[in-house]
């Protein structure tokens, strides 16, 4: 009888080993094999692997995972509440450390990462006033948040791929006061800029008018000088021309006077017949008076 039982036991044990020893790992997973809580092996290659029947295998995702959080409240430096929506992207970079810190539980790891990221956001927001948060460069604030959180999650064996703030809002009772205050500040800034612009406009117009006056005065002065030079040159030319034949010049001037004075309707001249005016009417011969 015992001789018959032994082969049966061997077959059962072999069957149990065959059923419990193999395990598979796919491309998106990392597996850790433990023996009585101690890590005995880490498997990152996809395919079929083996273990002892008493070993435990824990598998977890090694892809980039995302967590979203909405309606989280943080206080600014001036004790204003901010409602922030954000998301976190992370992945496992150290399987052994991740297993020791979280037991390979994704939900527990997500909670730990969320608390660390919230502390980072809280620290960044608490260092700034509401106005600084609203007017700050979003990329710079996000970089500071992810920098602090990355240092703090390193003990979990994970990498933060991205931390992104999706929305920053104010409670309804605070938003109206804040926006009204900001509106008043912008009105003051606009009034100041407008006043500076008007002052600059007056200065520019005054400078332009002064420049215009100076340019016109210089042009008038130059025109008078040129006109005077032209008149002087014309006088010299006339003098030279008339000095060559003074009698002809006298006749020419008399004819011009006759043209302007005689032969017009309604004109009445009272002139002595012996006067110089009738010299050429009496005797047009040259050289005689």
Higher pLDDT, 173 or 165: 165
Residues 217-235: what's their mean pLDDT?
Answer: 90
Residues 63-81: what's their mean pLDDT?
Answer: 82
Question: Over pLDDT 70: what percentage of the chain?
Answer: 78
Residues 69-83: what's their mean pLDDT?
Answer: 80
- Comparing CA positions, the residue from 82, 85, 86 lying closest to residue 171 is 82
- pLDDT level of residue 111 (50, 70, 90 thresholds): confident
**Whether 85 contacts 167, CB under 8 Å:** yes
Write down the pLDDT at residue 135: 67
Could you tell me the CATH superfamily of domain 65-170?
Band 7 domain (3.30.479.30)
Ranges of each domain in the chain: 2-61, 65-170, 175-244, 248-282
Residues 38-50: what's their mean pLDDT?
Answer: 83
Give 228-267 pLDDT, tens digit per residue.
988 888 888 877 877 777 777 777 777 777 677 666 666 6
3-class DSSP state of 79: coil
Rounded Cα distance, 128 and 76, in Å? 6
Question: Over pLDDT 90: what percentage of the chain?
Answer: 12
Please calculate the CA angle 258-262-268 and round it to the nearest 5 degrees: 130
Torsion of Cα atoms, 65 then 71 then 72 then 74, to 10°: 140
- Give residue for tokens 């999706």: 166
Helix (H) or strand (E) holding 160: strand 158-169
Contacts of 105 (CB under 8 A, 6+ apart): none
């Amino acid at each position: 009888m015992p001789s018959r039982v032994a082969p049966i036991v061997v077959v059962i044990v072999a069957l149990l080993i065959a059923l419990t020893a193999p395990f598979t790992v796919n491309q998106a997973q990392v597996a850790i094999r433990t023996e009585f809580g101690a890590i005995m092996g880490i498997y990152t290659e996809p395919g079929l692997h083996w273990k002892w029947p008493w070993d435990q295998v824990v598998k977890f995702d090694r892809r980039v995972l995302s967590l979203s959080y909405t309606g989280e409240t943080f206080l600014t430096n001036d004790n204003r509440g901010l409602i922030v929506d954000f998301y976190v992207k992370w992945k496992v970079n150290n399987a052994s450390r991740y297993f020791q810190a979280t037991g390979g539980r994704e939900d527990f790891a997500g909670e730990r990462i969320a608390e660390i990221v919230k502390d980072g956001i809280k620290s960044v927001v608490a260092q700034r006033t509401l106005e600084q948060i609203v007017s700050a460069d979003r990329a710079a604030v996000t970089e500071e948040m992810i920098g602090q959180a990355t240092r703090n999650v390193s003990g979990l064996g994970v990498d933060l791929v991205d931390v992104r703030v999706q929305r920053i809002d104010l409670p309804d009772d605070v938003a109206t006061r804040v926006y009204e205050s900001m509106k008043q500040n912008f009105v003051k800034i606009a009034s100041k800029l407008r006043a500076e612009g008007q002052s600059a406009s007056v200065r520019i117009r005054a400078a332009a008018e002064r420049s215009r006056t100076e340019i016109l005065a210089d042009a008038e002065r130059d025109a008078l000088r040129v006109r005077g030079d032209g008149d002087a040159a014309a006088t010299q030319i006339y003098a030279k021309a008339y000095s060559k034949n003074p009698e002809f010049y006298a006749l020419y001037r008399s004819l011009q006077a006759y043209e302007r004075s005689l032969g017009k309707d309604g004109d009445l001249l009272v002139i002595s017949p012996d006067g110089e005016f009738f010299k050429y009417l009496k005797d047009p011969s040259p050289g005689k008076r």
